[in-house]
Amino acid sequence: MARSVAMRRVLFLLWVDVVGSCFVSLPGARDEAPFSAEEEEKLFQHFLRNLNINGTGAVIASPGDVPALVVCCNNRAPQPYYFHWTRDAALSLSSLISLGRNDSLPIMQSFVARLRRQHARTVASGHLGVSAAEESFLEPKWTLSGAPYEGGWCRPQTDGPGLRALTLLRAAPVLPSMSKDLWDLASLDLDWLAANPNMDTCDLWEETLDRDFLWNRAVTHAALVEGRAMALQQGDVKRAERFAAAAIALPPTANHIGEAEGGTFLTNCPAENPGPACQRYDKALDGAIILSLVHAQATKDTGAQLRGSTGKLPSPSSALAARSASQLAALFCRIYPVNRKDTEEGVPGVLFGRYEADRYGANNEGNPWILITAALANLLYKASAEASEQAMTEEAAAAWATFLGQPGPASPADLVAGGDAVLLRIRHHVGSDLRLHEQIDRHTGLQYNAKDLTWSYAEVLEALQSRRVAVAARRRL
């Protein structure tokens, strides 16, 4: 037995040397989820405590300490994440909606009331040099009472309106009693996006300013596509035409396709002629790619209705998605000692982080992030569900097999097992109390920074929900 374990470890390390990945697969599909039903409920209760704080509709990012802000910026404010980020709130509420729980109605009602108050503001903060109305779309960070954050921050940020619109649109069929209010507010975000499709913006990590990040562009495209479908459903043809025209005018996804020995893959910055900030921080290979593939997909098939649009992302089950995941796996296996240690010990999965030059962490070193790693699991589950509905191409099945480290073409069952492996590696680093932080230390494997990060809970819970969908799709085969 000991010899067989040692042999497996040797094979793992040989695999890392040959292809650069340290992903550890499971021997086959599991019946049980990586988190038990009891554990999932505990995660959900932790998540729920960060939503609709004091009935304000606010979603806090985290109530915990944030030592990384001390290291990077000497920010010693207590609870510096105890604010409502437009991005984090939209993604967290979207995850809540996807879970289909009764808890969502009162939370969304408070959120809608909060948005109405925000849009009704008449006095601008002055941080952006725009009107109070415009701040509702461009300001990324808000107090619980509904005022823009007064400190310095990376501004403007354009992903908030698109993410918020997607959340409101997707909530409408789940909460029919609120559908009119949800559309009224979503249409404000969509009108703004249609009028401002190509602004300079901070990236997902609120660090660098550029015009063409994959994340921001893909979110905008998905929102406009889904918004067009809803506008047509509402009989608002002119608005639908505006949304379609704006979506078609966005830069093509082809701008974000790089090429390496293993084939083409997605990049967060343009593959050619990236802006100076992208070059300085080398954010071409970025965990934002995984988040884009999961969260910036239009859920309605409108390809035939949007002829001329080149902004659609590849599907989760595509070869391009698989090769992008492989490129990121090779990077994060190389730069994170904890990944190599886990692999040597046979811990399933792999941990993903932000980008190679990341310095947001202890000792100015970036770390794996729980939310990005959980999004990778979600991507694998979504790929499995798609492959169950429509068989993957030979190229895609081979590309996913390469990511999973298996010799034959990947099947839907293999992809579920891959997602399980990823969540099991997260589970390996989480204590019995199941309190999720933002990061996992690249050396020690201990959780780090922003305890009870809402977005971390949202990504793990949504991945588990996607697993249920994927398993059900497999059973229909």
The tens digit of pLDDT for each residue in 175-217 reads 999 999 999 999 999 999 999 988 999 999 999 998 899 999 9
From CA 40, how far away is CA 47, in angstroms rounded? 10
The verdict on residue 163 lying in a domain is yes
From CA 446, how far away is CA 370, in angstroms rounded? 12
The verdict on residue 154 lying in a domain is yes
Between 210 and 463, the higher pLDDT residue: 463
Residue 13 has pLDDT above 80, yes or no: no
Which pLDDT tens digit goes with each residue over 367-409?
999 999 999 999 999 999 999 999 999 999 999 999 999 999 9
pLDDT at 198: 85
pTM of the model: 0.95
pLDDT at 282: 87
Q: Are residues 293 and 328 in the same domain?
A: no
Q: Are residues 237 and 111 in the same domain?
A: yes
Q: Are residues 268 and 341 in the same domain?
A: no
Between 74 and 244, the higher pLDDT residue: 244
Over residues 114-122, mean pLDDT: 98
Q: Are residues 349 and 381 in the same domain?
A: yes
Count helices and strands (H / E) in the chain.
18, 8
User: Where is the domain boundary, 313, 338, 367?
Assistant: 313
pLDDT at 8: 45
Q: Do residues 350 and 24 make contact, with C-beta atoms less than 8 angstroms apart?
A: yes
Q: Are residues 111 and 260 in the same domain?
A: yes
From CA 92, how far away is CA 48, in angstroms rounded? 10
Supply 455's token pair: 């977005």
Domain that holds residue 40: 1-49+324-477
Which pLDDT tens digit goes with each residue over 432-447?
999 999 999 999 999 9
From CA 281, how far away is CA 247, in angstroms rounded? 28
The verdict on residue 84 lying in a domain is no
The verdict on residue 60 lying in a domain is no
**CATH code for the domain of 355:** 1.50.10.10
CA angle 390, 327, 384 (to 5 degrees): 20
pLDDT at 195: 97
From CA 212, how far away is CA 382, in angstroms rounded? 26
The verdict on residue 97 lying in a domain is no
Label residues 446-456 b or e (16+ Cβ within 10 Å = b).
ebbbbbbbbbb
DSSP state for residue 254 in the 8-state scheme: G
Over residues 1-28, mean pLDDT: 60
Q: Are residues 207 and 260 in the same domain?
A: yes
Q: Do residues 328 and 401 make contact, with C-beta atoms less than 8 angstroms apart?
A: no
The verdict on residue 270 lying in a domain is yes
User: Where is the domain boundary, 261, 280, 313?
Assistant: 313
Over residues 51-73, mean pLDDT: 95
CA-based end-to-end distance of the chain: 37
The verdict on residue 81 lying in a domain is no
pLDDT at 307: 64
pLDDT at 305: 56
pLDDT at 167: 98
Q: Are residues 234 and 301 in the same domain?
A: yes
pLDDT at 398: 98
At 6, is the pLDDT very low, low, confident or very high (cuts 50, 70, 90)?
very low
Distances (CA, A) of 150 to 6, 100, 164: 56, 36, 22
Beta bridge partner(s), residue 81 = none
Q: Are residues 307 and 450 in the same domain?
A: no
Residue 233 has pLDDT above 50, yes or no: yes
Count of structural domains within the chain:
2
Structure-token match 């790619």, residue found: 289
At 162, is the pLDDT very low, low, confident or very high (cuts 50, 70, 90)?
very high
Read off φ and ψ for residue 161, nearest 5 degrees. -60, -40
Supply 201's token pair: 């913006």
Residue 424 has pLDDT above 90, yes or no: yes
Burial of 31 (0-12, 13-18, 19+ CB in 10 A): exposed
Read off φ and ψ for residue 213, nearest 5 degrees. -90, 140
At 1, is the pLDDT very low, low, confident or very high (cuts 50, 70, 90)?
very low
The verdict on residue 208 lying in a domain is yes
Q: Are residues 142 and 259 in the same domain?
A: yes
Q: Are residues 26 and 153 in the same domain?
A: no
User: Where is the domain boundary, 257, 279, 313?
Assistant: 313
pLDDT at 304: 47
CA angle 354, 336, 258 (to 5 degrees): 50
Residue 262 has pLDDT above 90, yes or no: no
Q: Are residues 159 and 302 in the same domain?
A: yes
Q: Are residues 362 and 287 in the same domain?
A: no
